[in-house]
Amino acid sequence: MDLKKEIKIFIYLAGAFILFYNLPIGNQRFDGAIFEALELMKWYAQEHVILCLLPAFYIAGAIGVFVSQNSVMKYLGPNSNKTLAYGVGSVSGSILAVCSCTVLPLFSGIYLMGAGLGPAIAFLYSGPAINVLAIILSGKVLGVEIAFARAIGAIVFAIVIGLIMAYIFRKEEIAKMEAAAGLPDPEEKRPLWKTIIFFALLIGILIFSNWAKPDVNEGFWFFIFSIKWYITVVFSIIFSVILIFWYKANWIKILIVAIIIAISTFFFQNPSFPFAIGVLGLTYVTTTGNEELKHWFESTWTFAKQITPLLFAGVLFAGFMLGRPGHEGIIPSEWINGLVGGNSLIANFISSVVGAFMYFATLTEIPIIQGLMGSGMGKGPALALLLAGPALSLPSMLVIRSVIGTKKTIVYVLLVILFSTVVGFIYGLT
């Protein structure tokens, strides 16, 4: 018998017993925090899993199957042109305009395919942080000055943090370069332009199905919102045709799925249900298709198994600790309000830490900060929260750790908090 192992098991069991024996069931704050955790999980499941995570998983899976490792190394690898690599990483992330959790499968896909740590981190940060609609809404609600500072800060952060991460872990990057040098040139199954169109359609479906409603019912952004499902349907039809002719999917199966989706739109007012049927249909087409399509689903399923449990656990814990926007978790909101008041360095640091651990869906950070500023939050801590909040969350940290390891994750989180604190403090002095 391994005594150390048995002692460790005993400690775990004893700790679990003590925890459950002393659970403060009946305490109003504890019960409320449990409720908030479940409410946040319910909201996340309803609003993000079907429309955000499922297509993101399929895109990540497609990266692993339809994009050659050499191509990723060429444009995003450690030995690629730095201007091109960080430009592609930051710009491609900003185009997606997704929340900190939805970008994770895509980040995992490009990193595991050989992207350099720096460009991959730039992509990871830029996706949720550099959101054009969020920046515009920030200008309308919080003021043009802070919106401009947010836009510039986020762009600079994506590149600078990526460069610092690449420098700190340069030995591992060099090893990755040496390993990539021995890779043979792969035989391309189809021209690059076909692969680009394939991914553009998938990304288009992801973007427009999640297009958020602006704060006013007029203007260009609202017009896009009002026709977003028509655009999504058009992209889906073109994508289906491409699957048939370029990827040799069975046209009868795709036609059956399309008919079921069309019929379902008459029975469900919520577009998420027909969308979910479409995802299930794609699963059916890929799992029963040729070897390439089966490989796509297998790659997608691998990401889903790895990421989903960590996200769900993180959302539950974040809801328990901090609650939902406008609701309290186990930590009283007045504590946070008191700590982020004014423009002190401590206030900026606390604001960055809270933003880094709390989960913000796309655009929800703006009304939260508006309320905090009305309660005395300084403009510096407000900017710090805008820079740290959308880009990080406790759920995303858990997933990032599973992809790049504990050490790199800690450094990345600390860099985001540090830069957000410093930039927020300097901005608060102006």
| Per-residue pLDDT reduced to its tens digit, 121-149 | 988 888 777 766 677 667 777 788 888 88
Cross-strand pairs, 342: 377
Eight-state DSSP code of residue 341? B
CA distance 121 to 265: 39
pLDDT reported for residue 283: 95
**How much is the mean pLDDT over the chain?**
84
3-state secondary structure of 187: coil
- Residues paired with 341 in a beta bridge: 377
Range 249-265 average pLDDT: 93
pLDDT of residue 362: 62
Q: Return the sign of the alpha-carbon dihedral for residues 408, 79, 201, 283.
A: negative
User: Which sequence spans correspond to the domains of the chain?
Assistant: 49-249+289-429
Please enumerate in sequence order all residues whose Cβ is within 8 A of that of 206, keeping only pairs 6 or more positions apart, or say none. 52, 55, 56, 59, 96, 98, 102
Tens digits of residue pLDDT in 78-90:
777 788 788 877 7
| Residue 188 pLDDT greater than 70, yes or no | no
pLDDT at 280 over 90: yes
Q: Is the CB of residue 325 less than 8 Å from the CB of residue 368? A: yes
pLDDT at 182 over 60: no
- pLDDT (average), residues 281-286: 95
Cβ-contact 404, 306 below 8 angstroms: no
pTM: 0.78
pLDDT band, very low/low/confident/very high, at 238 (cuts 50, 70, 90): very high
At 212, is the secondary structure helix, strand, or coil? coil
Does residue 37 contact residue 320 with C-beta atoms inside 8 Å? yes
**Segments in 115-227 forming alpha helices (H):** 117-129, 132-142, 144-168, 170-181, 192-209, 220-226
Backbone angles phi, psi at 326, to 5 degrees: 90, 0
For residue 21, pLDDT beyond 60: yes
